[in-house]
Structure 1
Amino acid sequence: MPTLPRRFHPALLVVAITFLALLFSAGLRSAPGVLMVPLELAFGWDRATISLAAAIGILLYGAVGPFAAALMISFGIKRTMLAGLALMAVATFASQWMSQPWHYILTWGVLSGIGSGAVASVLGAAVVNRWFATRQGLVMGLLSASTATGALVFLPVLAWLSETGAWKPVVLAVSASCAVLIPLVAFLVPERPEDRATRRFGEAADTPPAPPMKQAATPWLAIEALVRAGKTPVFWLLAGTFFVCGLTTNGLVGTHMIAFCGDHGIAPVAAAGLLSMMGFFDLIGTTASGWLTDRYDPRRLLAVYYGLRGLSLLALPFIDFGPASLTAFAVFYGLDWIATVPPTVKLANQSFGERDAPIVFGWVLVAHQMGAAVAAFGAGVIRETMGSYNPAFLLAGAFAVAASLVFIGGIRPKSAVVPA
């Protein structure tokens, strides 16, 4: 079968810039973990109040996803990225004048949550579907790993900026990072392969063009796709287990790990370094997960990933929080941080078709962020009322083990494309 001649494919540049956009969005969402103690010291706000803003931001980060996916079809991937980055930059920049808890909730919870939701995992799924005919699992793994790389790049710097208890340098650094990316997207990201007179990466030259859509894409397409997907068991399986994924990653560890380490006498910079180590190993683990997803049953991979994650969280409260034990946890947990994304995306693609899959994955991501929001707020409440984070980590570990057992127990989501 004839294929296009080998040359630099614009899809590679699109992936590189999308990787940066997802990285900066993840950096913004990880910043509240660094801001928690400085804001507590500067304003006297309690940890539950500060956690509420983080929880709202995390929830909106997911809730915006399916609508953003629909907008990417009608409004365009490029324009949606630009709007999200601009809102992230403006909201975080404005937060330097906050003085009341509702200011923090508005800027870092509501506005930045909406902006970062437009530059989230659904963006990666849309880019992969539009620009790649082959290697979709590998590329999705790489883009998913960018969220952990955001912690790898941002957290040590942000922790260093806040080392003396200052919080304004943190918000300005995040705002500037988002603003810098806007011209790169504006000038270097084409909307479609056809805009560069090419086909999707790996697509045969004689492949017929995709048929035109039967209806115009609007934000209501997100609701219609949800209604169609909600009639299938596979959707509820993916949404339920991804709720657990959020509960056990960015909502708990991403938001509270620095404060948890602080309870054991570990300085914020050292704790941020621990999260960065997790991010480094997740870059390896999630990219490898994408490679494995192209070759093996994604259901079996998910059973393994959730089981290992649950065991690591169950063990964490019982370690001595010394350098050796924390390093072991960071490596073991980091390899599995968000390795669940590529197989989950593959199951969505298999089950819901090329048009609906990114939107349905957006709704699955809503469940993920609901779980993350529960953990972000709930862990803060547990710490405030019980004086320890241990019960929160034990509960999260138990949920992860339960998610693993769901896949081991014989639930088999076959290809079940819902008719449009």
Structure 2
Amino acid sequence: MNWVARRFQGRLHYGWIVVGVVFFVLLAAAGTRATPSVMMLPLEKQFGWSRGTISLAISVNLALYGLAGPFAAAAMQRFGVRPTLLTALATLAAGVGVSSMMTAPWQMVLVWGVLVGGATGVAALTLSATIVNRWFTTHRGLAMGILTASSATGQLVFLPILAAISERVGWQPVVLIVACAAALVIPLVAWLLPERPANLALRPIGETAEQPPASTLPQQNPIKVAFSTLSMASKTRDFWLLFFSFFICGASTNGYVGTHLIAMCADYGMTQVQGASLLAAMGIFDLFGTTLSGWLSDRFNARYLLFWYYGLRGLSLIYLPYAFGIDFFGLPLFAVFYGLDWIATVPPTVRLATDVYGKDSAPIVFGWVVAGHQLGAAFAALGGGMLRSSLGTYTVATMISGGLCLVASILVLRINRPAQRVGVATT
């Protein structure tokens, strides 16, 4: 690791190398999380499982992915980023590989719901927040935007390929490919991811010699730290505004569109590969949109950015059912506007959490906010599947999702107004 740092000394701060390593970790995790949407139709065809049954496993996955976040952030403070991440990646690779042998719904819930959900919760947005707060004093929004965009890139890289493989040779090879992808990033973490800038005799990007060194919280039980931070944050209005707005964010992105769009496209006569390609196209636009959102978060009021992001996303979802009836511009127009906005909410949300709760507590507080995001995703994944099974259409679920986004656009205007500053929890 030190030889890599010496190689780039004087040309590029090692913090950007860390961003690159974590980008690939998050890319593999994003590809893994997107895989169940590719598996939905093949599992329905092979085993006769309903979309509601498959959505149950996905909803458990999404919920645990979020609930693991604050404990993962606390574990990174207690045990270190690298050991925590290596354990999660090994579990993820093994769990996904084992799922190729499943034959019953409970096995999908156990493996893809519990095991994979908990492991991907470590390689998640809380990891990004931890890395950004440790390695950056300036350019935090840009770094967070780049890391968040990895989710979009994961879709771009994995979904069309996995959908094509699934159509031709079945779903089992799909999960084996994803397991290998998770295993391939393990050496990158082991060799190239130091704990802090101080391990390489560096300061965070943008920190001057006159500034005091970054504080280090006492090493305590990560479960105690996670819950004590939740106790501190939950007494403030801003936490609940962040929590419920991010609940809606999760419900309207990977919970609903990320889980059901491919199956929704099939309802309109499109192939699985066409549906996956639409998601991948949205991933391309989100790669630019989220990176740009990070840049904007360094320069403009985060509340106003979130107002526009949620409002435009809501309008895009309300438009979606009509897009299928417009021959040429319908779906491409949706892909552009929704794709640019897919997870652009993350950098300004992290900015607000850091502004309110401080640099040290922000990753754990944000972990709890991400838990809200994933509970919303689980709600939408299960609810969308149940509405489709009972009504035979996704239109009602789509309109509900769009309406919730418009509600979120109003909620976010109250965050950090008037400005609050909450002390760092150390117990």
Range into which the TM-score falls when normalised by the shorter chain: over 0.9
Deviation at 1:214, TM superposition (A): 4.8
- Counterpart among 282, 291, 295 of residue 295 in structure 2: 291
The amino acid across from 2:130 in the alignment is: A
Inter-partner Cα distance in structure 2 for 1:184 and 1:410: 38
Inter-partner Cα distance in structure 1 for 2:271 and 2:333: 19
- Aligned residue for 1:57? 61
Q: Determine if the alignment matches structure 1 residue 204 to structure 2 residue 225.
A: no
Q: Verify the 8 A CA contact 2:242 2:415 in the aligned structure 1.
A: no
Change (3 A) 1:127 1:30: same
Inter-partner Cα distance in structure 1 for 2:404 and 2:270: 27
- Aligned residue for 1:160? 164
Q: Determine if the alignment matches structure 1 residue 277 to structure 2 residue 289.
A: no
- Counterpart among 322, 331, 336 of residue 327 in structure 2: 322
- Aligned residue for 1:170? 174
Deviation at 1:298, TM superposition (A): 0.4
Deviation at 1:158, TM superposition (A): 0.6
Unaligned 5+ segments in structure 1 are none
Q: Determine if the alignment matches structure 1 residue 99 to structure 2 residue 103.
A: yes
The amino acid across from 1:388 in the alignment is: T
Q: Verify the 8 A CA contact 2:245 2:412 in the aligned structure 1.
A: no
- Aligned residue for 1:37? 41
- Aligned residue for 2:379? 374
- Aligned residue for 1:414? 419
- Aligned residue for 2:356? 351
Inter-partner Cα distance in structure 1 for 2:216 and 2:119: 30
Inter-partner Cα distance in structure 2 for 1:120 and 1:410: 23
Q: Determine if the alignment matches structure 1 residue 188 to structure 2 residue 192.
A: yes
| RMSD of equivalent CA atoms | 1.5
- Aligned residue for 1:83? 87
- Counterpart among 243, 250, 264 of residue 246 in structure 1: 250
The amino acid across from 1:228 in the alignment is: M
Change (3 A) 1:413 1:291: farther
Inter-partner Cα distance in structure 2 for 1:272 and 1:338: 18
Structure 1 length-normalised TM: 0.96
- Counterpart among 307, 314, 332 of residue 337 in structure 2: 332
Instruction: Tell me the SS of whatever aligns to 1:417.
Output: coil
Q: Verify the 8 A CA contact 1:58 1:373 in the aligned structure 2.
A: yes
Unaligned 5+ segments in structure 2 are 1-8
Structure 2 length-normalised TM: 0.95
Instruction: Tell me the SS of whatever aligns to 2:359.
Output: helix
Inter-partner Cα distance in structure 2 for 1:11 and 1:161: 37
Deviation at 1:96, TM superposition (A): 1.1
Deviation at 1:245, TM superposition (A): 0.1
Deviation at 1:149, TM superposition (A): 1.2
- Aligned residue for 2:12? 8
Q: Is the deviation greater in 58-67 or in 313-322?
A: 313-322
Deviation at 1:217, TM superposition (A): 5.3
Inter-partner Cα distance in structure 2 for 1:215 and 1:150: 34
Inter-partner Cα distance in structure 1 for 2:218 and 2:192: 30
How many positions carry a matched residue from both structures? 416
Q: Verify the 8 A CA contact 1:234 1:413 in the aligned structure 2.
A: no
Deviation at 1:198, TM superposition (A): 1.1
- Aligned residue for 1:232? 236
Inter-partner Cα distance in structure 2 for 1:188 and 1:410: 37
Instruction: Tell me the SS of whatever aligns to 2:421.
Output: coil
The amino acid across from 1:224 in the alignment is: S
Deviation at 1:419, TM superposition (A): 4.8
Deviation at 1:407, TM superposition (A): 3.4
- Counterpart among 363, 368, 383 of residue 363 in structure 1: 368
Matched-pair identity in %: 51
Q: Determine if the alignment matches structure 1 residue 25 to structure 2 residue 29.
A: yes
Q: Verify the 8 A CA contact 1:264 1:321 in the aligned structure 2.
A: no
- Aligned residue for 1:392? 397
Deviation at 1:191, TM superposition (A): 1.1
